[in-house]
Chain A
Amino acid sequence: MVGINDLKKINFTKALPDEILEKISTVAQLETYDEEAILIRQDQSQHLIYMLVSGRIFLNCRAGSGQAYTLDELSPGHTFGLSSLLDNSPATYTAICAEDSTVITMASAQLLQLFKSDYAAGYQVMQQVVEKFKKRMNRHTRLFMESLSNHPAIG
């Protein structure tokens, strides 16, 4: 269990009301990981949600050719692994600690159980997931269009 003040430091949860944070805190744990610890492996199923409290994490992606790309470098406050709330599809990236890191973790199965016992809380969290996914999807579309407009066959 973690305190709700820890959850208020996380971008994804900071706007949620205290009564929901209280419930979420009961299924959350604070963990420390060493530099180079792998939290999520690309192409493997994921079961945990991660919220970075301190440290730094790289998200890497290996393309079909074997070429590896570092897509993002996460700083404290960021959340990843939310997709595990939705299905068992494999991770699209590898998450690796770039330095010793402290992370809040939650088992997605426990969180889903909590939502089923309190649909109002579940709705509020899921609504936030949808809004964030929608913004991200629109950015994906923009990035895809950018890659197309730079494509040799079109440019």
Chain B
Amino acid sequence: MVKIEDLKRINMFKKMPDDLLEILSREAQLNIYGTGTTLFSVGDAIDTFYLMIMGQVALKVVLTDDIDVILDNLQAGRSFGSSALLADARASYTAVCQEPCEVVTLHGPRMLELFETNKALAYHMMTGVAGQYKRTMDKRARMIMKTLDEHPELKLRMQDLDELTPVY
């Protein structure tokens, strides 16, 4: 169990009603991880949703044998591992603690059970996760456009530029 005040420090919970935060606080656990701890790796089945209270976690993918790319360095208030709230999802990046971290965790399968009986909780959680994905997509699209702007010749070598657009 964690305090509601701790949950309110998480960006995606800032607009969540207190009665729903009460439910989450009973399900949540506070964990401390040391520097260098790998929380999960690319391809792992994800069953935990992570909410950063303190510290820094790097989200990495391998570019070449010699180069890892850090997609994001997450700090207090950010969350990751939201695939745990979807059925049969796998990690698309590796998450590694860059310093000692204080992290609240929610167990994915338990949350999916709760979603069956509490649709308000389910709706608010999904809206929060969608917002998080949207911000990341926008950020990544800006990075790609900046790279193209600086090196227009790359456009010829890049496939599926239409994948940048949020169309469904």
**Min CB–CB distance B113 → chain A (angstroms):** 14
Asked if B166 contacts A80 (CB within 8 A), the reply is yes
Q: Specify the chain A residue showing the minimal Cβ separation from B138.
A: A92
Which A residues are CB-close (under 8 A) to B89?
Answer: 134
Q: Which chain A residues border B120 with CB–CB below 8 Å?
A: 119
Which residues of A106-155 are within 8 A (CB) of B?
115, 119-120, 122-123, 126-127, 129-134, 136-152, 154
Interfacial chain A residues near B136, Cβ < 8 Å:
137, 140
> Using Cβ atoms and an 8 Å threshold, which residues of chain A touch B119?
119-120, 122-123
How many A-B residue pairs lie within 8 Å, measured between CB atoms?
A: 161
Contacts A134-B86, A150-B157; A115 near B123 (Cβ below 8 A): yes
From 77 to 104 in chain A, residues with beta carbon under 8 angstroms from any chain B beta carbon are 78-80, 82-83, 85-87, 89, 92-93
Interface size on B, residues (CB 8 A): 55
A12 within 8 Å of B (CB atoms): yes
Contact pattern, A 42-81, Cβ under 8 Å of B = 1, otherwise 0: 0000000000000000010101110101011110001110
A interface footprint on B111-128 (CB within 8 Å = 1, 0 otherwise): 000010001101100110
User: What's the interface size class on A, roughly?
Assistant: 35 or more
Contact, CB under 8 Å: A147 / B144: yes
B119 to chain A, nearest CB (A): 4
Do most interface residues of chain A lie in helix, strand or loop, or is the interface mixed? helix
Contact A86/B130 with A137-B140, A150-B154 known, Cβ cut-off 8 Å: yes
If over half of B's interface residues share one DSSP class (helix, strand or loop), that class is named, otherwise mixed; here it is helix
Given A67-B152, A134-B86, A79:B144 Cβ within 8 A: no
Query: Do residues A136 and B166 form an inter-chain contact, with CB atoms below 8 A?
Result: yes
Q: Which residue of B lies closest to A87 (CB)?
A: B131
Interface string of B122-159 (1 = CB under 8 A from A): 11001101110111111011111111110110110111
Q: B1 → chain A, closest Cβ, in Å?
A: 25
Q: Is A32 an interface residue (CB 8 A)?
A: no
Instruction: Report if B163 contacts A (CB, 8 A).
Output: yes
Q: Is A11 an interface residue (CB 8 A)?
A: yes
- Report if A136-B163 is in contact (Cβ < 8 Å); known contacts: A126-B127, A149-B64, A151-B154: yes
- Is there an interface contact between A123 and B151, defined as CB atoms closer than 8 Å? no
Q: Which residues from B are CB-within-8-Å of A59?
A: 165, 167
A-B pairs, top 7 by smallest CB distance, nearest first, are A126-B126, A133-B133, A119-B119, A72-B162, A123-B122, A140-B140, A122-B123
Measured CB to CB, the residues of A under 8 A from B are 11-12, 59, 61, 63-65, 67, 69, 71-74, 78-80, 82-83, 85-87, 89, 92-93, 115, 119-120, 122-123, 126-127, 129-134, 136-152, 154
